Structure 1
Amino acid sequence: MLLLLILIPLLSLLFFFFFFFFFLNSNSNSNSNSKVPKSYPLVGSLFAIIANRKRPLPWLSDIMQVSPSATFVLQYNYPTRHVFTGNPAVVEHILKTNFSNYVKGHAVTHTLTDFLGHGIFIIDGDYWKFQRKISIHEFNTKSLRKFIETVVDTELSDRLIPILSSTAKQGTVLDFQDILQRFTFDNICKISFGFDPTYLLPSLPQAKLALAIEDSIRISTERFSEVHAIVWKFKKLLNIGSEKCLKNAISEVREFALNIVKEKKQRLGEKESLDSVDLLSRFLSSGHLDENFVIDIVISFIIAGRDTTSAALTWFFWLLSKNPEIESEILNEINEKSEVLVFDEMKDMVYTHASLCESMRLYPPIPIDAKEAVNDDVLPDGTVVKKGMRVIYFPYGMGRLEMLWGSDWAKFKPERWLQKEEGSWKFVGRDSYTYPVFQAGPRTCLGKEMSFLQMKRIVAGVLRRFKVVPAFEEGVNHEPEFISYFTSKMKGGFPVKIVERDHLHHHETES
């Protein structure tokens, strides 16, 4: 009873303190949001962070735009301080020059280990080097590239195109984000496991595995948004709420992966030679990997292969719908190529390549990434980093920096990646520290080329036959909301109508 008498006034005072500053920040104008928020004793900038919790990426981007070196320090609470940067020199420093000092760190690995285990994307040191070495070899094999081309073309011709054609004839609305996720989910399962989940079928089935992966991603990421890690840890201990849901979802994913691994090991044991080029077969045939290790790797590749490519394409098709002159230029380039693209033809699709890069500049599939300092350091712009601090580089914010992209940074402009040579376009890339969409340095994304290969084949296959028309609610000038878990998404999906190009041409002729 005495404890209650002491706690109630203290909690009331804390509530009043919280409400006062939360109200102050939530009612601040947009200009004040564009500056590094005030830091208060003990709680740091917690109230401003909470006030902007529904728009963290635009808020952080606003701050970065007015920071002289595109780097700022945010005091989360005492003693937690995070460095946010969009400065290419700083990005190069943490991802390459002083790579060994900036690791994934305890916060990331501890938060995500339940789902990703010891997969390549959340570990450091020798364990990471070992996985990286095997992965580099597999991604460089010509047979794997050919397999990927075959998988993508089959999924296009046998599943995606028929569904889009049927939708066009019926005049119905389709969630194109969902369709693209189904497409890339089937693809990555075939490439990784040699297993076809048949998720992209006309009935659009609700596959338990896909839903379990979705829940695992969402809830694991939401752990980072808790006021303190103790909150999700307490729920996990009691097995309640979101943590109970996460436990069930992870169990579903890992059980599925384990069964696939066991089945693949059995098939490989029955053969003297390897005639399958899926990644799982190659990993198991290396002779060095136990089941849990392989499961961790495969789950990581599924997430990377499913979500990054589908996210990039979702925003790409939305941007094309707003820029018909760019769509027309891409279509002209596609129509110059054969119906089934060969590798050399895809290399020549420079305008399409530039358009994809430009789309990912504005809407990067992985909009933000964090590293943890092993030792004290000073960044190239003079920012002091103490041991244990997190340094966060910010592709979403970098794509909006005038100092990097000019005063027209908000414009979707593929030409900023191109230059004319003898009447034709030549692609001119940006260095990976100005444009870290695929990371940079030793941890550069291994699937970069595979991703572009897949995206170009999808873009060519879809645009050659169809026009993708957004179908948001009538009367609403809709700007889709960009949200992020592990990867970015369009909140609420991307409703579209599909129009056959032959029908469109006939209609325009009659008009």
Structure 2
Amino acid sequence: MAFEASNSIPSMATTTGFLFFSFTFIFSLFSLLIFISRMKPWCNCHTCRTFLTMSWTQRFTNLCDWYTHLLRNSPSGTIHLHVLQNTITSNPDNVEHIVKTRFDNYPKGKPFSTLLGDLLGQGIFNVDGDSWKFQRKMASLELGSVAIRSYALETVMDEIQTRLIPLMSLKARDQNETDKNTVLDLQDILRRFSFDIICKFSFGLDPGCLLPSLPVSNLADAFDLTSKLSAERAMNASPMIWKIKRFLNIGSEKKLREAISVVSDSANEIIKQRREMGFATRKDLLSRFMGSVNNDDIYLRDIVVSFLLAGRDTIASGLTGFFSLLSKNPRVEEIIREELNRVLGPVQESPTFEQIRQMHYLNAAIHESLRLFPPVQFDSKHAEEDDVLPDGTIVKKGNRVTYHPYAMGRMEKIWGPDCLEFKPERWLKDGLFVQEDPFKYPVFQAGPRICLGKDLALMNMKSVVAALVPRFDIRVVGPNHEPRFAPGLTATFRGGLPVKVIEKRC
């Protein structure tokens, strides 16, 4: 009897495992069918049919350009993608309604937090309610302080003077003396620069990505992959597709899990090192946050990842778009050089905060480039309750609502008939920079969630331009066409930005 009982245990375990797997599979299939029934895949409107068949690729290189085309031809500046239950708008009145007037009704929402939850956890970009308020309050206090702004400028200038300028000079000489046919991927250089900066500024650690050897960073590579694969989740026709793949740990979800593991391990190591070194007197952001949430390593991990997302990809993306446009507009480049020479003098030393504030044309040029190439091309919310947007669009509870800064920057209704031109003068009045309505220009978001790091990001970008433009001619090489964007949480040029660098004689 004892022998029979012991034999029955593996059999029972096998049966239980089979039943569990069968139940899970049937439940997943049932959930998928329910979702499909709610999604109404039988919608045969032209927009949904074009999206599902991807026939938009016959005319447009990027999905964002197809959306821009649809929004431009919509009388209200709003379109509906029924199969995704998504309302997409480029109407500034709608944007103000979503991000300010009815802010309470349009949180990030559970669908969004689930999509990015494995990567961002409970970080500020992935939460609503009290958790968001707490993190935003802490971030606002820190980022608004004179001490942290001075530390940020000091960090940026050190990286520019000791690494970025010497590296660009080295590459310029290599191109001139060794092989005139070689090109430099400026996007890669800017991403390395931004990664060094955000790690120094946020964690007090130097990854050395911009050293002359251009070393590989496992953390940077893993973070790039998590960003790409997380964004691809949103491109699936149904979230059940990636959820089933995640449950079975196969395909892209297996790669995502492995990459997130590398990011998490690195973040935890950063926290451990900071704790061992002591954080009470340190200047970096993580040390300041640790004073408030010292014993919650999971929470600190999420903060670390959020810092990486905010400071690395967005600044590199913005600068890549800027130099892409500047290469095609030598007139703008020359005016920037004249302003820099006037403000900084012929010696071209590192600018102070006061000197940066005097660079009105450079400020206008950067805002103009961000209008055409915003680092975050669209932002989505989910309706808590039924609502009606100012243009009369009906929004049902639970539906997704998306405003599209990339498309808005290309709308003649908003920016006039010259909307596709790179024209910094549109931001100037009597030679002075004038800020536009944030709901017309939601590049840094608007309302209660407006970007807290906006001023630091602009300072970073201006400092790089002020250092490179007087010293180098940077020219994009290859066909003169609009860039192709790679999947990601921020806009990244597929294939990088190949340039020739010519060092100017002093």
State the TM-score, normalized to the length of structure 1.
0.86
Residue-by-residue CA offset, 1:193-220 (whole Å, 9 max, x unaligned) = 1110001111111111110001100001
Deviation at 1:275, TM superposition (A): 2.4
CA contact (8 A) 2:343 2:358 kept: no
The match for 1:18 is none
1:67 aligns with 2:69: no
1:250 aligns with 2:260: yes
Query: RMSD of the alignment, in Å?
Result: 1.5
CA contact (8 A) 2:80 2:88 kept: yes
The match for 1:48 is 50
Deviation at 1:42, TM superposition (A): 4.8
Of 496, 499, 503 in structure 2, the residue corresponding to residue 500 of structure 1 is: 503
1:111 aligns with 2:115: yes
Deviation at 1:244, TM superposition (A): 1.0
Deviation at 1:227, TM superposition (A): 2.1
Q: Which amino acid aligns with 1:243?
A: E
CA distance in 2, matches of 1:230, 1:185: 33
CA contact (8 A) 1:72 1:84 kept: yes
The match for 2:314 is 308
Deviation at 1:81, TM superposition (A): 2.3
Of 318, 324, 347 in structure 1, the residue corresponding to residue 324 of structure 2 is: 318
Change (3 A) 1:478 1:94: closer
CA contact (8 A) 1:368 1:395 kept: yes
1:212 aligns with 2:222: yes
1:392-471 alignment to 2 at 5 Å? 392-420=402-430, 425-471=431-477
Change (3 A) 1:42 1:414: closer
The match for 1:477 is 480
Q: Which amino acid aligns with 1:328?
A: E
Deviation at 1:483, TM superposition (A): 4.3
1:92 aligns with 2:96: yes
The match for 2:23 is none
Of 384, 388, 395 in structure 1, the residue corresponding to residue 398 of structure 2 is: 388
Of 178, 191, 199 in structure 1, the residue corresponding to residue 209 of structure 2 is: 199
CA distance in 2, matches of 1:397, 1:483: 17
Deviation at 1:280, TM superposition (A): 0.4
Of 345, 348, 351 in structure 1, the residue corresponding to residue 361 of structure 2 is: 351
CA distance in 2, matches of 1:464, 1:140: 30
Q: Is 231-240 or 207-216 further displaced after alignment?
A: 231-240
CA contact (8 A) 1:283 1:289 kept: no
5+ long unaligned stretches in structure 1 = 1-38, 504-511
Of 194, 199, 202 in structure 2, the residue corresponding to residue 184 of structure 1 is: 194
Q: Number of aligned pairs?
A: 451
5+ long unaligned stretches in structure 2 = 1-39, 176-181
Deviation at 1:268, TM superposition (A): 2.1
The match for 1:31 is none
The match for 2:85 is 81
Change (3 A) 1:397 1:483: farther
Q: Is 236-245 or 161-170 further displaced after alignment?
A: 236-245
CA distance in 2, matches of 1:64, 1:204: 42
State the TM-score, normalized to the length of structure 2.
0.87
Deviation at 1:55, TM superposition (A): 2.6
CA distance in 1, matches of 2:293, 2:77: 47
Residue-by-residue CA offset, 1:434-480 (whole Å, 9 max, x unaligned) = 000000000000110000110011000111211111122xxx33432
Deviation at 1:337, TM superposition (A): 2.8
CA contact (8 A) 1:109 1:122 kept: yes
Q: Which amino acid aligns with 1:431?
A: D
Q: Which amino acid aligns with 1:502?
A: R
Q: Which amino acid aligns with 2:196?
A: D
Identity of aligned residues (%): 46
CA distance in 2, matches of 1:236, 1:479: 35
CA contact (8 A) 2:48 2:81 kept: no
Deviation at 1:294, TM superposition (A): 1.0
SS of alignment partner, residue 371 of structure 1? strand
SS of alignment partner, residue 421 of structure 2? coil
The match for 1:25 is none
CA distance in 1, matches of 2:199, 2:359: 27
Q: Is 177-186 or 328-337 further displaced after alignment?
A: 328-337
Deviation at 1:191, TM superposition (A): 0.9
Of 222, 225, 228 in structure 1, the residue corresponding to residue 238 of structure 2 is: 228
CA distance in 2, matches of 1:266, 1:97: 46
